[in-house]
Every structure is written in C-alpha cells, then in structure tokens.
Amino acid sequence: GAGVSQSPSNKVTEKGKDVELRCDPISGHTALYWYRQRLGQGLEFLIYFQGNSAPDKSGLPSDRFSAERTGESVSTLTIQRTQQEDSAVYLCASSLEPYWGYNEQFFGPGTRLTVL
C-alpha cells in the first residue's frame, strides 16, 4: 500500500515569507507526527495529532509554527515569517492508534526547506 507522502519535496523561500508543508499519512493511521532535522542534528519532535484529541504542540519552537489536521487524514504544517534557522528537513510520520506497547511510526521522505 501507499506510504506516507509529503509535498513539496523541496522548498526554497525568502526570509519573511510564509510556507505550508503537506503530509498525507497512511490510510487508517490515527496518529500523525511532525519532526524536523536541522543540519547535523537529530530529529526534533514538533507536534503530535491523535484522533480527535487536542494535539500535543509541546515541540513547536515558536508561535510562527502551527499545524492542522483534517480528521484522520491530511496535515499541513505552516511556518509564518520564515527565518534562516527554520531551514531543515521537515518529516511527517504516522502510526496506528497507540494503546499499549509501541506502534511503529512510518516516515515520509520529508520536505527540505531552505530559507534564503
């Protein structure tokens, strides 16, 4: 079946512009995560959606970052007034509903964002 898809694969923008990144999770996956990986760093958690629960936004680095998810499908991550330090690969992952043990997170290929 189809995996997690993300678009665009690459995005170059000018400092101060807004950008919107899209994630299509695996069908049936109720949990959706956004991470980012800056150059030379590990993956950094940003936000987590689980079903109809309030999202866990504890990883968002500033109020310029926001994300939405429509039901249990598409999610968009929006970065307003982009800064050069926002340059990173933004990764989306989805998983089945976590209830016990650990549910594998399936990652998309990421969106490489470059802020000039």
Partner 1 sequence: DQQVKQNSPSLSVQEGRISILNCDYTNSMFDYFLWYKKYPAEGPTFLISISSIKDKNEDGRFTVFLNKSAKHLSLHIVPSQPGDSAVYFCAASEKSSGDKLTFGTGTRLAVRP
Q: Which residue in the set 2, 14, 40, 52 belongs to the binding site for partner 1 (CB under 8 A)?
A: 40
How far is C-alpha 70 from the geometric centre of its chain's CA atoms?
14
Q: Three-state SS for 87?
A: coil
To the nearest whole angstrom, how small is the minimum distance from the Cβ of residue 16 to partner 1? 28
Q: What x/- string results for residues 41 through 60 when contact with partner 1 is judged by CB under 8 A?
A: xxxxx--x-x-----x--x-
Count the residues of the shown chain that bind partner 1, applying the rule CB under 8 A: 28
Peptide bond before residue 98 is cis, with ω within 30 degrees of 0: no
CA 109, CA 116: separation in Å to the nearest integer? 22
The answer to whether 58 and 79 have CB atoms below 8 angstroms apart is: no
Query: Contact positions toward partner 1, by CB under 8 A?
Result: 4, 31, 33, 35, 40-45, 48, 50, 56, 59, 91, 93, 95, 98, 101-110
